[in-house]
Amino acid sequence: MLCVVDLGSQYTHLINRRVRELGVRGEIIPWRDFKPREDVDGVILSGGPRSVYEEDAPTIDRSYLDELSDRGVPVLGICYGHQLLAQLYGGRVERGAGEFGVATLYLRARDQIFKGLRRREKVWMSHRDQVVEPPGGSKVLAYTRNTRIAAFRLPNGFYGVQFHPEVKHTPRGRKVLDNFLTICRARRDWNMMGYAEEKIEEVRRRVGRGKVLVAVSGGVDSMTAALLMKRAVGDGLEVLFVNTGLLREDEPKEVLNILKRMGFRVRYIDASYEFLKALRGVVDPEEKRRIIAEKFAEIFSRESRGFEFIGQGTIYPDRIESAASSRAAHRIKSHHNVVMPDTGRELIEPLSGLYKDEVRELARMLGLPRKLVERHPFPGPGLAIRIVGEVTEDKLRMLRKADKIVEEEMRRSGYYRKVWQAFPVLLSLRSVGVQGDRRTYEYMIALRIVKSADAMTASFAKLPWSLMEKISSRIVNEVEGVNRVLYDVTNKPPATIEFE
């Protein structure tokens, strides 16, 4: 088993996810709770947003590392973890010019951790501080143009790397992690089937003869969570589908049909009036999310009388952006299912450790319909966060029509399955146009179409202009109230995939 110590990075869980992809069982431990364990084959120290020389910055006890060293357990520090290792063992860390994005790594010395890599490799950097003086007796293994000590090895065999091997932007990063797991002699016996069996048994043991009410939206996350829990508790499970009034065209009817075909006992609540009334006049995106979370909690509390447990399809990226993955992490935006107030029932979230593509793999194993498995992600707060500004019935009408056009054209062109997400956003801005020889002053739609592997990073899709023109033409011709279509060409980071 490998232990990943969370020092506050947005990518901590991504490290663990890469470890799992390489067949090793990993466990994330918050830095405050870290202590050496007998069953650990290796330890990875994550990155983080702080500086190691700040007061109260995340750290770990040097004696714990010495104990691991005495037992021959390897340690790898990444970014902040690299700097922390250097500082704890007598090196010096200072604020520097920084390095953000892709850089060229130059290997100074051959070492097992870089086995199979070339002398020059592309890596992804995201740091302001850097190690300016390595620990005594250590060996500097690599550098970049702006970072003199980009990797080192301590005399006890501990490693530090300034770059992020866990992200896709480091093309050979997986090989670096693979080499480290080989150094650890870690057992490679983890797979998704084993994860599913563990979770089913965990839910069964936790629930016993209790009853579970699971919230479903019709998306792959909540449906997979519901199916997994159904395997665990059988007739003790009921699903709750809430029509928020913020769903896509014809979605309530489609979701109900799917749920009934899959044999779920369904409780349907049309709360569209409640949600739209609560959102009236609200423009701030975090306020929208808070209101939606509170409204969901209110409905959950009301409908879950007689149930001991409630279930949700929360996945890990939701928790990361809501800063629920770590006490040292920064909040990007609140996901309603993560920050939802206490409903008074015990919460079960069997997918909270998985990424979207891992959920899809699990969904296929559990037998979810292919169309549902492959459908693009849709946010829990629905169209409310794809409308910049106040949510109104008229804006929802425009956005639903535009959304249907985008999905139809993406599917017809064959590009739907080639991208991660494709959707329109209704902006709060209006612009002058000419339609039917008459001046118009209408809303603008922004198209957001991205490619990604796990939603942690994303790049805008470079689609054929003929397809973009077709989508734009249909929107301005068929959606009353819109006279201009824009295309978002921003990657993540610095932007998020959703606008709000």
Q: How far apart are the first and last CA of the chain?
A: 38
Residue 238 β-bridge partners = 213
Question: Rounded to an integer, what distance in angstroms lies between the CA atom of residue 247 and that of residue 16?
Answer: 33
Question: Rounded to an integer, what distance in angstroms lies between the CA atom of residue 397 and that of residue 474?
Answer: 15
- Residue 367 one-letter amino acid: G
Question: Rounded to an integer, what distance in angstroms lies between the CA atom of residue 296 and that of residue 241?
Answer: 11
The single residue of 127, 164, 335, 336 carrying the catalytic annotation is 164
Omega cis (within 30) before 493: yes
Task: Spell out the residues 6+ positions from residue 301 whose beta carbon is closer than 8 angstroms to its own.
Answer: 343, 344, 345
Q: Minimal CA–CA distance to 444: which of 397, 480, 483, 401?
A: 483
- DSSP secondary structure string, 43-110? EEE---SS-TTSTT-----HHHHHHHHHHT--EEEETHHHHHHHHHTT-EEEEEEEEEEEEEEEE-S-
Known active-site residue 166: yes
Question: Rounded to an integer, what distance in angstroms lies between the CA atom of residue 322 and that of residue 468?
Answer: 33
Spell 338-351 as b/e; 16+ CB within 10 A means b: bbbeebebeebbbb
SS3 assignment, position 222: helix
Residue that has been written with the tokens 């006049």 in this structure: 281
**Are 215 and 300 spatial neighbours (Cβ–Cβ below 8 Å)?**
yes
Known active-site residue 164: yes
The single residue of 79, 184, 336, 442 carrying the catalytic annotation is 79
Q: Which pair of tokens denotes residue 131?
A: 């190690």
Question: Rounded to an integer, what distance in angstroms lies between the CA atom of residue 5 and that of residue 77?
Answer: 9
**Are 216 and 247 spatial neighbours (Cβ–Cβ below 8 Å)?**
no
Q: Minimal CA–CA distance to 326: which of 21, 29, 3, 1?
A: 29
The single residue of 121, 166, 321, 361 carrying the catalytic annotation is 166
**Are 372 and 220 spatial neighbours (Cβ–Cβ below 8 Å)?**
yes
SS3 assignment, position 460: strand
Omega cis (within 30) before 494: yes
Known active-site residue 274: no
H helix intervals, 98-191: 173-184
Q: Minimal CA–CA distance to 481: which of 430, 436, 447, 438?
A: 430
Dihedrals phi, psi of 495, to nearest 5 degrees = -85, 165
The residues annotated as belonging to the active site are 79, 164, 166
